Structure 1
């Protein structure tokens, strides 16, 4: 191992990148220790040493850059919300005291063009949706704080594509949750994320891939030093910059009578209790490929199987919007893996198995 010069003093006015990490970026090993700092013009980066693969690594992905990644991503996010380059530079200056040349922002936008697909909508929607109208955010106090947000500009554009014409009921549901979410239901004990309903997955295809959501997560989450902020940071960036995420932290609920109605409609393939309401919040709601995608970010996604949780989300959205389960796709992902399945297939196969 090359000798590292350890500098113990850090300028308190300089952002410290990567003060806390969970594993080695190369081998994912957990046996890591701090190994000094690397200083540049605007940042101080924490270096780490991995005992498993004997490599020094830094969680800062923007090699050779002098701007903290968090500032880069926030500037790009503001631009895609509809602010001009000059307005973005002014906001960065107000927040950090740093002067951001507009040309530098243009470089960042060009570098991230493949990940920020909202670029194809931005100019078209700017005349109709100014930044403060494009996205509506509401703070929900549902035992803990959730920031429910809907991108109405993107939703308007996607719903006017012919293949998505049947999904206006989704827009109406999202608006209804903004106006009159039944907050009292969310103080109960029965959470969709804790539901242990057992679905028969015989014949259900769970497809694995590495897609744009993984790539965005792989970039954005390297700017997060507090793991409690992972969901929020990723949600804010994807909602503003991709071309398919229309809402985040969407509140959903299933009442006992809803579950009874779903059983009447779909038969015995729904193993949910009808005793109490079920509630939850969908991490990401997307419209793409003529389907509504229900996404959940799960660290270590390869080891997770949140089928029951995602099925409850799909059943609740189907119940609240009147859309058939065929309209929905469920998925979970992290920086490396993405898995998806069709909830209608889960129900259909369960019914077929129970009738044989």
Structure 2
């Protein structure tokens, strides 16, 4: 097993890790650009993007997404085992590395991603900024021909905005790899439950439409 890792100082330190063996096996049949991106960002990440501007983990609005709650999901079982480890200081690292090493579909953790203002419409209206949106995906898996974007959230049932954060994580990775958003699935989880959904452009479009209507009412 070959695991590559590097530490990225993006406000604080993130440990970006890849399982090269699983990438070689899973990043084929249309996902070659994902493999290329994951490899290139090791040495060619625009670190200055992460110094300021909006962050995916700080988004505090809802897109109207209604995730499906699943008890006993495979990722929850993996988290439960990972949390019993004291290998690392943080729960996140113990869960992430356990999945990267032991789960057959996890290919990367703490994957850096970004989105620029010209890449989606009404960018400034959404984020109130022209600076790039940035983030780090906790866990990337490839399963059943889909790229799964996962975020480990202790007390997942109490999350209010996790679906928004992970939606934009999937959108950012879609833009970076030029892989259709239709090929992505999203979820957040703890050791008890997982909350999953399919990211769709329509979800963002409806949010923008509602936002425009609210602005119009305020201006009347």
TM-score over 0.5 for the alignment? yes
Corresponding residue number in structure 2 for 1:149: 17
Unmatched runs of 5 consecutive residues or more in structure 2: 211-220
Hey, what does 2:115 align to over in structure 1?
Answer: 254
* Structure 2 match to 1:317: 173
Tell me the equivalent position of 1:302. Answer: 157
Aligned to 1:107: none
Alpha-carbon shift at residue 148 of structure 1 (Å)? 0.2
Distance 1:326 1:287, change over 3 A: same
Residue deviations 1:129-156 (CA, integer Å, cap 9, x gap): xxxxx22111111111111011111011
CA distance in 2, matches of 1:197, 1:254: 18
CA contact under 8 A between 2:185 and 2:199: conserved in structure 1?
yes
Partner of residue 52, structure 2:
188
Unaligned runs of 5+ in 1: 1-80, 82-133, 265-269
Q: Which moved more, 1:211-220 or 1:230-239?
A: 211-220
Alignment RMSD, CA only? 2.3
Displacement of 1:182 in angstroms is: 0.5
- Normalized against structure 1, the TM-score is what? 0.54
Task: Tell me, in whole angstroms, the C-alpha distance in 2 between the residues paired with 1:352 and 1:192.
Answer: 19
Of Structure 1 and Structure 2, the greater strand share is in: 2
> Is the Cα contact below 8 Å between 1:259 and 1:274 reproduced in 2?
no
TM-score, normalised via structure 2 length: 0.85
Number of equivalences: 207
**Alignment match of 1:348 (pick from 198, 202, 212):** 202
Q: Is it true that 1:219 corresponds to 2:75 in the alignment?
A: no
Q: Which runs of 4+ in 1 moved over 6 A?
A: none
**Cα distance in 2, alignment partners of residues 337 and 217 from structure 1:** 10
When Rg is computed on C-alpha atoms for both structures, the one with the higher figure is 1
Which gives a bigger RCO, structure 1 or 2 (Cα 8 Å, sep 6+)? 2
Where 2:192 maps in the other structure, the secondary structure is coil
Distance (whole Å) between structure 2 residues aligned to residue 307 and residue 152 of structure 1: 29
